[in-house]
Amino acid sequence: MKATVSRKAHFNAAHRLHRSDWSDEKNTTVFGKCNNPNYHGHNYELIVSVTGDIDPDTGFVIDVKILSDLIKEHVEDVLDHKNLNLDVPYFENRNPTAENIAVVIWDKLRPYVDLKMDLEVILFETPRNFVTYKGK
Ligand code: NI
């Protein structure tokens, strides 16, 4: 029997979406308020889900305390209160969109979750806008 265990988490971070090879006009058209030159913050909400077989001994797919600790160590401690453009090397030459942040989070967690289990990351950039990433 398979089940999905999910854990919610949260972090605050600043970003700017911008391409220096585009005109100011094009940047504003494509990225809107997220192009603000002085950065701006989002309250990111995260749902990490692990799907796998229910262990007959424990009744768990994954101990949610372990999942919670993994998110704290590899996501919250790395991204919370950071400027994503300046503080996270992955975004040195890549826009910190919700899509790309979800990929970073998934990549950070994947090594710590049993490969027999599926991993899914849902990242809310605003209460209404969110992205799902499950690996490629
Ligand atoms: Ni933004």
45 is catalytic: no
pLDDT of residue 54: 98
The pTM for the full model equals 0.95
81 is catalytic: yes
Residue pLDDT tens, the chain, 136 long = 999 999 999 999 999 999 999 999 999 999 999 999 999 999 999 999 999 999 999 999 999 999 999 999 999 999 999 999 999 999 998 999 999 999 999 999 999 999 999 999 999 999 999 999 999 7
The catalytic position among 25, 34, 45, 120 is 34
Distance from Cα 32 to the centre of ligand 1, integer Å = 9
pLDDT of residue 136: 78
Of residues 17, 9, 2, 10, the one with CA closest to residue 84:
17
Length reported for the chain: 136
The catalytic position among 10, 73, 81, 99 is 81
Residue 97: CB atoms within 10 A of its CB come to 18
- Contacts with 57 (C-beta within 8 Å, 6 or more apart), sequence order: none
Residue 31: CB atoms within 10 A of its CB come to 17
Q: How distant is the alpha carbon of residue 34 from its chain centre?
A: 17
- Phi and psi torsions of 37, nearest 5°: -60, -30
92 is catalytic: no
